[in-house]
Amino acid sequence: MQVSEKLSQLRAAMASESIDAAIVGNTDPHNNEYVAPRWRCREWLAEMKGSNGTVVVTADWAGLWTDSRYYQSAEEALEGTGIELMRMSDIGVPSIAEWLKKNCKEGETVSFNGTNTCLKQAKAWIKTLKPAGLEIRSDIDFIEPLWTDRPAAPKGELYLVGDELTGQSIESKISAVREKMADEKVDAYLLGRTDESCWLLNFRGTDILNQPTPYCHTLVTTDEVMFFIDSDKLTDEATEKFTAAGITLRDYDEVEGVLEKLSSDTRLLIVPHYLNYQLAKASEQCIQIEGRPIATDLKAVKNATEVKHLKQSLIDDGAAMVRFYVWLYKSLKAGEKVTELSASKKLEACRAEVPGYRHVSFESIMGYGPDGALNHYSVDEESDKPVSLENIFLIDSGGNYAHGTTDTTRTIPMGEPTQEQKEDYTSVLSSMIELLILQFPEGTTGAQLDGVCRLNLWKQARNFKHGTGHGVGFGLEVHEGPQNISGVNAEHMKLGMITTIEPGCYRPGKHGIRIENMVHTVVSQETDFGRFFKFENLTFCPLNVDLIEPSLLPAEHTEWLNNYNAEVFEKLSPLLSEEETEWLKHECRAI
Amino acid sequence: MQVSEKLSQLRAAMASESIDAAIVGNTDPHNNEYVAPRWRCREWLAEMKGSNGTVVVTADWAGLWTDSRYYQSAEEALEGTGIELMRMSDIGVPSIAEWLKKNCKEGETVSFNGTNTCLKQAKAWIKTLKPAGLEIRSDIDFIEPLWTDRPAAPKGELYLVGDELTGQSIESKISAVREKMADEKVDAYLLGRTDESCWLLNFRGTDILNQPTPYCHTLVTTDEVMFFIDSDKLTDEATEKFTAAGITLRDYDEVEGVLEKLSSDTRLLIVPHYLNYQLAKASEQCIQIEGRPIATDLKAVKNATEVKHLKQSLIDDGAAMVRFYVWLYKSLKAGEKVTELSASKKLEACRAEVPGYRHVSFESIMGYGPDGALNHYSVDEESDKPVSLENIFLIDSGGNYAHGTTDTTRTIPMGEPTQEQKEDYTSVLSSMIELLILQFPEGTTGAQLDGVCRLNLWKQARNFKHGTGHGVGFGLEVHEGPQNISGVNAEHMKLGMITTIEPGCYRPGKHGIRIENMVHTVVSQETDFGRFFKFENLTFCPLNVDLIEPSLLPAEHTEWLNNYNAEVFEKLSPLLSEEETEWLKHECRAI
C-alpha cells in the first residue's frame, strides 16, 4: 500500500470517528527508544525510519516532526508522499501542540493513542490543546485496523545475569529501592521503563532487536514485588530465581487490572516520562505522586564491579575495532569491493568474536563521505554505497556484551584528507579533549559541560545540532538517563555515572565528523571551593592523527592525545595479531 | 521584642489554629525581589536581612533557608535565636518541602500565606506535601496580628516616562501584547509582575526603596486594558495620559473582584511565578492557561532607542565611579577616615550628579577585605568597617537613571596585593573576558554560557556559588528575566537582550573578588552552521591592572583588556576633571 493510500484510509477512519487531527508516533507502551516492529506505527504510515518522528494528519494536511539527525533521510523518505517535513531542531518551527493550536478550530478533536504515549507527553499536549478549545481523545488506535499485516507483540525469552557481573543482588537492589521509597513516603512504585526492571531483577531480554529489555513492568510495594511479563518468556531457571527472591510473577497484560485495584489511599510513585497514559489513568484512584525515577537514579551510578567489567569490555571492543580497521584498509588496497553495509557486517563480526558478545548496542552508523553528514545515518540495502580510498569515514558503533555496553565513534581518513576536513576534525577532537581534561565542581550540570565542550567549535564558527553526550547502561541500553550533556540538561553529573562525549561537525554533501569516547565520573580533588570531579576515560580505540591540523591543537591537547594513543597501544596490542599490532603501532604514533 | 518571643507568640497562634508548621517568607503579592517594608515578614520574625530567606516554624523547631550569598550574615543574625540556618545552595540540604515531608507526620497541617506566595511556589509545596498526607492552609496571615507596628502599604506617586526614552508608545506596546495573546489564543492576560505594568504603560513608581515599580496589576483583554493602582498614586498628568490611551483605571484591591467576575469561558493567561496564589484562586472559574510572560519576553528584547540611551547611561555611570575612585584614594592617602558606609554614600553622591539620576539600582555592596567574601554583603551602621590602604575592595553598585539601569562590579587594590589575590583576580577577569570575546550560535542557553564562563576558574580548582549573570531592565529592575546565565537556565540568549557577566572568587575571612560588566546580544556572523551571536560590551569603567598576574592572562585576553581600558579612557575622560583624567590615564595604562 502506498503512503498516499494509507493516509486516505486513515482520513476515512478519522472522519467516521469525527477526529479532526490524529497524532501517530513510533512509541511503545514504555516510551522505549528502540521499539519492537509492532509499535512502529509512524514508520508504517509514513515509511520513514529513525528513532524520532511523529506524524500529524488532518483532513487536508499531513506533517512529520523529526530532529536534525533525520532531516536528510526524512526528506528523501517523504518525497512525493504529500507529508510535509517539520524540522523540529530549527528555531521558529512550531511544536506539534503549537501547530495544532494554531491550525485547528475551536471545538475540533485531536486524537492520540494513550497506550503508546507517555503521561508526560500526553499531559503536555492536553495542557496546550484543551485551553485552546480543542477536544482530546486517547482511546483510539487508528493504525490497528489499517495495518493488516501488523506484527504481533514479541515473545523473546529472557535470561538472567549473575551477581558477579552486576555487583549487586536482586534482594539488595529491592532494599535500596524501598529505602528511597520510604524517603519519598510512597507505598508503591511502578517501574515503567523496561530497563529499570532489567536492572532491578538482574535479567535481560530478547524482544527487541539490539535492545536487551523485554516488554515488562515491575510494581514494588512495601511488602511485595510484582513482575509483569508474559510467562512464555520465562525459563525455568528464571522462574526459580525470581520465586526464590520472593517475587510474584504475573502476565504482562495484568498490570492494568492490578493498578485499577490498588486502594485509594495507596501512595503510588509514577514517573510521567516512563509510564503510558493508559496506565496512569488506570491508577487514577490512588494518590499519584509524580517523582523521580528511583530505579533510573540508582542504576545510573555504577558500582565498582560494573565499572571493572565495563573497562574490560571497552578494551575488548577497541581491539575488535582495530581488527576491523586493518581488514578495511587491507581489503580496499587489495581492490576488493567494500560497501557501508559490508563494512557494517564485518565490524559486527569482529565484535562477535569477543567472549560475552550479545549483539550490537545499536544499528551501526557507517557514514562514508557525504553520508557522514547525515547525523545518525543508518545504512540499509537501499542506501548502501561503496567505500573507497578517497573521502573520510564516520563510524559510530558499539557492542552489547555481558560485561558492558559500548558506544564509540571514530572518523578515519580513507585517502588524503582535505584542509577543511583536517580543520573540522581537529576542532572536534579538541572539543572532546577539553571535557576529558576538565575538572568541574560537584553539582555541575550537563548543560554547563555542554557549553565547555562546544566552546572550541564556536570560536571557529562551527557547531553541531545534536547533544554532546548521554548516559550508558551497564549491559543495558546505550542511551539512559537521568544525565546527559546538552544545552538544557539540569541534572548534576554524579560520581559513578557513565556518559559519552561526542561532539561533531557536519558539512552536508561533503563529509561528517564525530568523535566519541565513554567516560566515568570520578573525584579530581577537594579544595576550599568544595569537591571537584573529572572524567576518567574508558574508551580505548586509536584516535587518527593523519586528520589532525597540528597548528589548531593546543599543546595540552596534543600531550593528552599522545598519551592516549600510547595507552591505546599498550592496552590493545596484547589482544591483536602481529599484523594488527603493527598497524596499531603506526596509527598510535606520537605527533 | 526578641526573636525568641516572636517565635513563642507565633507558636501560640499556630496552636490555636491547629497548624503544625508555618512557612514565613519575605515575598510580596507580586513576587518582587525587593519588597516594601510591609511585606518583610521573615525579616521581622528572624531579624535576618537579605533578598532571600524563608523561615519554617514548627512546635519545637525553626529553620531559615537562604542561599550562599547570605550564609555568613544569616549565621551572625541567627546566633542565639534558636533558628537553624539551612544552607540551601549546598548539596544534600533538603528543600523546605523535602524537610516538611520528612519531619511532619501524616495528617499534620502546613500553612503559608497565599496572598504573598506565588502560584508556582504554592503548587510546588502542595505537590510535595499533599501526597505525603499533609494538609495545607493558605488563608492565614499569622504575622499581621503579632507585628503590631507593621508598616502600611506604601503610597508612592508614579511618574511617566516619555516615548523618546522608551522608544515605543503605550499603544504600540499594547498592540504587541495583543498580537502575542492572539498567537496564544487567550482572551485575557494578567500582568502579575509590577515591572511588566511599568514597561507596558511607560511609567515608574516610588513605592519601594531603590525599586521603580509601584504595587499594581494590569489586565489586558482583547478590548480593554484595566490598570489596578491606588488612585492617590496617580498624578493628573498620569490619569490624563492613561485615559487618553483608553486605559481603565481601577483601585489596586479591585483586581481580585474583577478576576472573580471573569466569565467561565475566558481564556486567561497566567504566569505562575508572577501571580500570587490568592489571585490564581480568584480566577479559578476561567480557563486558566499557564504560559510564558508575554510582557517580560517583549521587555527583555530592548529596542534601538533603549540601547542608545543605556549606552550613554553606562558612560555617565563609569565617569561617576572614576570620580569616586579618585576621592577614595585621595581621602585615604590624606589620612581621612573612610568606612564602607561613608564610601557607599560618596559613591551615591557621585552618581547623583549625573543628569537623569533617580536612585541607586540596589543597595551598594561595599566589601572591604574579608567583607568582600560575603557574596552580597550590604553594609549598614552595625556592620560598617573602616577602609584602609591594605586589602582589596569589592564594589558592586549601580544607578537607576532615566536613560538606563546600570550594574557594575569592580575589585580594586587598596595596598600591595598578595600573590593569592592577584591569582584570584586574574582568574576571575579571564573568566569574564572569555564571554566577552565569545561567539555562540543562535539558540545557546544561559546554562551553556555559564559553563564557558566558569571553565577558566574550574581549571584552577576555583568556583563561585552564585549565578554568572542576569537580565537588566531599562530604567527598571536591576534583575529581570527571562534569561540569566546559570547552571540550570534553559532560555535562549536572544538578540537585543541586556545581561550582566559577573564571575567571582571568594575566600572567607580573607577577601572577595567579583568583576561585572553589562552586555548586549548582537549578531557576530552568519555561517553554514547558522547565525552566531556575540556580546557587545556596554560597561565602561576601568579594570584595574595592578591586581593582574600577567602570566595567568592569555595573550588574547590581555589584548582585549588593553583595548578595553583604552576605550574606557577615551569615553570617560571628556566627562572628567583634569585630576580625574590623570588618574584614569594611569589606571588605564596598557600591560
The answer on B109 and B47 residing in a single domain is: yes
pLDDT tens digit sequence for A220-246: 999 999 999 999 999 999 999 999 999
Q: Nearest chain B Cα to A438, which residue? A: B459
Q: Nearest chain B Cα to A94, which residue? A: B183
Average pLDDT of chain B to the nearest whole number:
96
pLDDT tens digit sequence for A316-351: 999 999 999 999 999 999 999 999 999 999 999 999
What pLDDT is attached to residue A382? 80
Inform me whether the C-beta atom of residue B486 falls under 8 Å from chain A C-beta atoms: no
Note the helical H segments in B90-169. Answer: 96-103, 119-129, 143-146, 163-166
Whether residue B376 has pLDDT greater than 80: no
Residue B153 lies in a domain: no
Amino acid at B92: G
Query: What would the mean pLDDT of B381-402 be, rounded to a whole number?
Result: 94
Q: How far is CA B168 from CA B243, B306, B521, in A?
A: 18, 9, 20
C-alpha cell at B531: 547565525
Between CA A321 and CA A330 the distance in angstroms is 14
What pLDDT is attached to residue A142? 97
Burial class from Cβ neighbours inside 10 Å (0-12, 13-18, 19+) for residue B40 reads buried
| Phi and psi at residue B510, to the nearest 5° | -115, -70
The answer on A513 and A499 residing in a single domain is: yes
Closest among A29, A40, A41, A24 to A275, alpha carbons compared:
A29
Q: What percent of chain A has pLDDT over 70?
A: 100
Between CA A489 and CA A68 the distance in angstroms is 18
Between CA B190 and CA A402 the distance in angstroms is 58
Query: Helix (H, G, I), strand (E, B), or coil: what is residue A170?
Result: helix
| Torsion on CA atoms B23, B28, B32, B36, rounded to nearest 10 | -120
Amino acid at A292: R
| Cβ-Cβ contacts under 8 Å, B492 against chain A | 91
Rg (CA), chain B: 24
The answer on A441 and A566 residing in a single domain is: yes
What pLDDT is attached to residue B537? 98
Q: Inter-chain contact B443–A127, Cβ cutoff 8 Å? A: no
Q: Inter-chain contact B532–A127, Cβ cutoff 8 Å? A: no
Query: What would the mean pLDDT of B389-404 be, rounded to a whole number?
Result: 97
| Cβ-Cβ contacts under 8 Å, B133 against chain A | 185, 267
Query: What would the mean pLDDT of B156-169 be, rounded to a whole number?
Result: 97
Inform me whether the C-beta atom of residue B532 falls under 8 Å from chain A C-beta atoms: yes
CA atoms in the 13 A half-sphere facing the CB of B141:
18
Closest among A225, A232, A274 to A253, alpha carbons compared:
A232
ipTM attached to this prediction: 0.93
Whether residue A378 has pLDDT greater than 80: no
C-alpha cell at B46: 528572624
Residue A117 lies in a domain: yes
The answer on A258 and A323 residing in a single domain is: no
Residue B291 lies in a domain: yes
Whether residue B186 has pLDDT greater than 90: yes
Q: Nearest chain A Cα to B91, which residue? A: A443
The answer on A366 and A221 residing in a single domain is: no
Rg (CA), chain A: 24
| Cβ-Cβ contacts under 8 Å, A132 against chain B | 185, 267
pLDDT tens digit sequence for A272-317: 999 999 999 999 999 999 999 999 999 999 999 999 999 999 999 9
Whether residue A450 has pLDDT greater than 80: yes
| Residues with Cβ within 8 Å of residue B43, at least 6 apart in sequence | B26, B49, B53
pLDDT tens digit sequence for A95-140: 999 999 999 999 999 999 999 999 999 999 999 999 889 999 999 9
Domain count, chain A: 3
Query: Helix (H, G, I), strand (E, B), or coil: what is residue A1?
Result: coil
Whether residue A377 has pLDDT greater than 80: no
CB atoms within 10 A of CB B159: 17
Between CA B575 and CA B541 the distance in angstroms is 13
Distance of residue A266 Cα from the nearest chain B Cα, in angstroms:
10
Residue A398 lies in a domain: yes
A contact test, residue of B286, B434, B507, B529 with most A CBs within 10 A: B529
Residue A315 lies in a domain: yes
The answer on B464 and B339 residing in a single domain is: yes
> Which of B87, B115, B146 is the C-terminal boundary of a domain?
B146
DSSP codes of every residue in A567-590:
HHHHHHGGGS-HHHHHHHHHHT--
CB atoms within 10 A of CB B60: 6
Burial class from Cβ neighbours inside 10 Å (0-12, 13-18, 19+) for residue B124 reads middle
Pick from A130, A450, A488: which is nearest to B451 by CB?
A450
Query: What would the mean pLDDT of A13-36 be, rounded to a whole number?
Result: 95
Residue B513 lies in a domain: yes
Q: Inter-chain contact A102–B183, Cβ cutoff 8 Å? A: yes
The answer on A294 and A274 residing in a single domain is: yes
What pLDDT is attached to residue B73? 86
| Residues with Cβ within 8 Å of residue A10, at least 6 apart in sequence | A22, A24, A45, A57, A142, A143, A146
What pLDDT is attached to residue A72? 84
The answer on A250 and A186 residing in a single domain is: yes
Pick from B133, B448, B525: which is nearest to A450 by CB?
B448
Answer for the pair B477, B212: CB distance below 8 angstroms, yes or no. yes
Higher pLDDT: B34 or B474? It is B474
Residue B151 lies in a domain: no
Answer for the pair B469, B429: CB distance below 8 angstroms, yes or no. no
Inform me whether the C-beta atom of residue B487 falls under 8 Å from chain A C-beta atoms: yes
The answer on B417 and B462 residing in a single domain is: yes
Whether residue A583 has pLDDT greater than 70: yes
| Residues with Cβ within 8 Å of residue B218, at least 6 apart in sequence | B190, B191, B196, B197, B200, B201, B225, B226, B227, B228
Inform me whether the C-beta atom of residue A554 falls under 8 Å from chain B C-beta atoms: no
Whether residue A1 has pLDDT greater than 90: no
Whether residue B273 has pLDDT greater than 80: yes
Answer for the pair B458, A439: CB distance below 8 angstroms, yes or no. yes
Residue A443: pLDDT band (50, 70, 90) is very high
Burial class from Cβ neighbours inside 10 Å (0-12, 13-18, 19+) for residue B281 reads middle
Pick from B131, B289, B452: which is nearest to A131 by CB?
B289
Residue A94: pLDDT band (50, 70, 90) is very high
Whether residue A375 has pLDDT greater than 70: no
Q: Inter-chain contact B447–A451, Cβ cutoff 8 Å? A: yes
CB atoms within 10 A of CB B525: 10
Can you give the CATH number for the domain in which A457 is found? 3.90.230.10
Query: What would the mean pLDDT of B323-343 be, rounded to a whole number?
Result: 97
Q: Nearest chain B Cα to A437, which residue? A: B459
Distance of residue A439 Cα from the nearest chain B Cα, in angstroms:
6
Pick from A133, A287, A455: which is nearest to B455 by CB?
A455
> Which of A246, A274, A300 is the C-terminal boundary of a domain?
A300
Distance of residue B528 Cα from the nearest chain A Cα, in angstroms:
8
Residues 19 to 78 of A: which have CB under 8 A from any B CB?
none
Answer for the pair A418, A511: CB distance below 8 angstroms, yes or no. no
Can you give the CATH number for the domain in which B229 is found? 3.40.350.10
Inform me whether the C-beta atom of residue B246 falls under 8 Å from chain A C-beta atoms: no
Residue A15 lies in a domain: yes
| Residues with Cβ within 8 Å of residue A452, at least 6 apart in sequence | A434, A435, A438, A440, B451, B452, B455
Inform me whether the C-beta atom of residue B491 falls under 8 Å from chain A C-beta atoms: no
What pLDDT is attached to residue A33? 85
The answer on A165 and A17 residing in a single domain is: no
Answer for the pair A52, A466: CB distance below 8 angstroms, yes or no. no
Query: What would the mean pLDDT of A45-49 be, rounded to a whole number?
Result: 95
Between CA B142 and CA A375 the distance in angstroms is 59
What pLDDT is attached to residue A376? 67
| Cβ-Cβ contacts under 8 Å, A507 against chain B | 528
Inform me whether the C-beta atom of residue B590 falls under 8 Å from chain A C-beta atoms: no
Distance of residue A79 Cα from the nearest chain B Cα, in angstroms:
24
* Most distant CA pair in chain B, distance: 73
C-alpha cell at B139: 488563608
Q: How far is CA B588 from CA A18, B414, B435, in A?
A: 74, 17, 21
Residues 133 to 162 of B: which have CB under 8 A from any A CB?
133
Query: Helix (H, G, I), strand (E, B), or coil: what is residue B484?
Result: strand
Q: Inter-chain contact B131–A183, Cβ cutoff 8 Å? A: no
Q: Inter-chain contact B461–A455, Cβ cutoff 8 Å? A: no
The answer on A250 and A341 residing in a single domain is: no
Residues 167 to 226 of B: which have CB under 8 A from any A CB?
183, 185-186
pLDDT tens digit sequence for B496-512: 999 999 999 999 999 99
Q: Inter-chain contact B448–A443, Cβ cutoff 8 Å? A: no
Q: Domain range spanning residue A163?
A: 159-300
Whether residue A42 has pLDDT greater than 80: yes
The answer on A535 and A445 residing in a single domain is: yes
> Which of B114, B146, B178 is the C-terminal boundary of a domain?
B146
What pLDDT is attached to residue B375? 66
Distance of residue A529 Cα from the nearest chain B Cα, in angstroms:
6
What pLDDT is attached to residue B379? 79
Q: Inter-chain contact B445–A488, Cβ cutoff 8 Å? A: yes
| Cβ-Cβ contacts under 8 Å, B441 against chain A | 458, 463
